[in-house]
A and B are shown apart, each in its own frame.
Chain A
C-alpha cells in the first residue's frame, strides 16, 4: 500500500506548489476582464442607483417637511381668520344690540312726545271749547234772561244797549256774589 502511494506520487510527478503557467495566465486574464467590467459598468451603475435613491429619499423628506410647514402655516392662517371672524361677529352683535336699544329709546321718546303733544292739544281744545261754551252761554243766558224779564215786566226792552248793560251788571253781580260765596 505504501509502495502504491509512493509510486503514484513519483509517477505523477505533481508537486502541488508548482503552478501551471497557462492556468496562471488564464486566471490573470479572467480576473482582469472581470475587473474591467466591474470598474466600467457594475460599480458605476450601483453607485448611481444608490446616489439617486439617497437623493430621492432626502428630496422626499425635504418635500414632506415643506408640505408640513405649508400646512401648519395654512392652519395658523385659518385660526387667525376664525378668531377675526368671531371678533367681527361679536362686534356686529354688540352693535346691533346697541342700535336696537337706541331705536327703542328713540321710539319711546317719540311716543312720549306724541302723547304729550296730544294731551296738550286736547287741553287747548277743551279750553277753547269751554271758552266758546262760556261765550255762547253768556249770550244765551243774557237773551233768555232778557226775554224772561220782558215777559215779566211786560215791556219790551227794545233798547238793546240799555238791556245789555242791565244784563252785564246783573251778571257781574252774580259773579261777585259767587265770588263772595266762594270766599
Chain B
C-alpha cells in the first residue's frame, strides 16, 4: 500500500518535494536536458488569453459599454489611471501605458496559473522569465533617462543634490549600487522568489497531506485535516500574492520610469 502510493519514500520518513519538482519533463524534448517545457506553453497561452480578451473587449468601441467591454475598460483603466497616470503624471504618461499594461497583465496571468487547478504552475517560478522582465524594464528606464537628460543622467541618478561634498564618497557608491546593480536584481528576484516559495508551499502541503493520510495511525490520518486547513489558507494567501506581485512589479516599473523622467528634480 505504502510503496505504491509513495514510490520515493518509505512510510517512516517524509521527504518534502524540492526545487527539482518545478522542472517537469519537457513536453517536446530536444537536446539533452532542455525542450519545449510546460512553462513555455503557458507563456504562449498567456499571450493568447490576454490579446484575445482585450482585443475582443476593445473591438466594439461602444460609447455605452457592454459587460465585456466594461470589464476590459475597467482593467485597462486600472493600469492607465491607477498606475501610469498616478505615478508618472499627467503630461507624458500615455507613452508608457502600453508597456505598463502589458507588464501587468502578462505577469498577472502567468502568476495566476499557479492558482488554477491542473495548470498549477506560475511561469515565474522559473527565474529566466523574471530576469527577462526585469531586464526589459531596466533597459527601458535607463534609456528614458539618457534620452531625457543625455549622459548627464548618470550624474543626476547617482549624485544627490544638497548633500555635503565630504559625504559624497560614501553616498555616490551607495547610489550606484542601489540604483544600477541592486534594483534589477531585486526587481526580478522578488517576483521569482514569491512565486517559487508559493508554489513550494502548496506542493509541500499537498505532499504532507498525502503522507499523513497514508499513515497507519488514526491520529496521524486526522492530523491531515489540519494540514488541509493550513494548505487552503496558504493557497488563498498565494492567490493574493500572485495578484499583488504583478501589481508591485508594474508599480515599481512606473516608479523607475518616473525617476528617470524627472531625474533633475530628485
A52's partner among B18, B20, B61, B101 (CB-CB below 8 A) is B61
A42 to B, closest residue via Cβ: B54
**Chain A residue at minimum C-beta to C-beta distance from B58:** A45
Q: Do residues B98 and A23 form an inter-chain contact, with CB atoms below 8 A?
A: no
Residues of chain B contacted by A18 (CB below 8 angstroms)? 127
Q: How far is the CA of A1 from the CA of B16 in the complex (A)?
A: 10
Residues of chain B within 8 A of A26, CB atoms compared:
39-40, 43-44
Residues of A within 8 A of B (CB): 1, 4-5, 8-9, 11-12, 14, 16-24, 26-28, 30-31, 33-35, 37-39, 41-43, 45-50, 52-53, 56
Binding site for A on B (CB under 8 A): 9, 13-16, 18-20, 22-23, 34, 37, 39-40, 43-44, 46-47, 50-51, 54-55, 58-59, 61-63, 65, 69, 72-73, 76, 80, 94, 97-99, 101-102, 105-106, 123, 126-129, 131-133, 136, 192, 196
Nearest-neighbour CB distance to chain B for A28, whole angstroms, equals 5
Nearest Cβ distance between residue A144 and chain B, in whole angstroms? 129
A120 to chain B, nearest CB (A): 97
What's the least CB distance linking A39 to chain B, in Å?
5
A-B contact pairs, 9 of them (CB 8 A): A5-B15, A11-B20, A19-B126, A20-B34, A27-B133, A37-B47, A45-B58, A49-B62, A50-B73
- Whether A9 contacts B127 in the complex (CB less than 8 A), given A22-B40, A34-B106, A38-B54, comes out as no
Apart from A21-B128, A27-B133: 10 A-B pairs, beta carbons within 8 A: A1-B14, A19-B126, A19-B128, A23-B40, A27-B128, A27-B132, A31-B102, A42-B76, A43-B98, A49-B63
Cβ contacts under 8 Å, B128 to chain A = 19-21, 23-24, 27
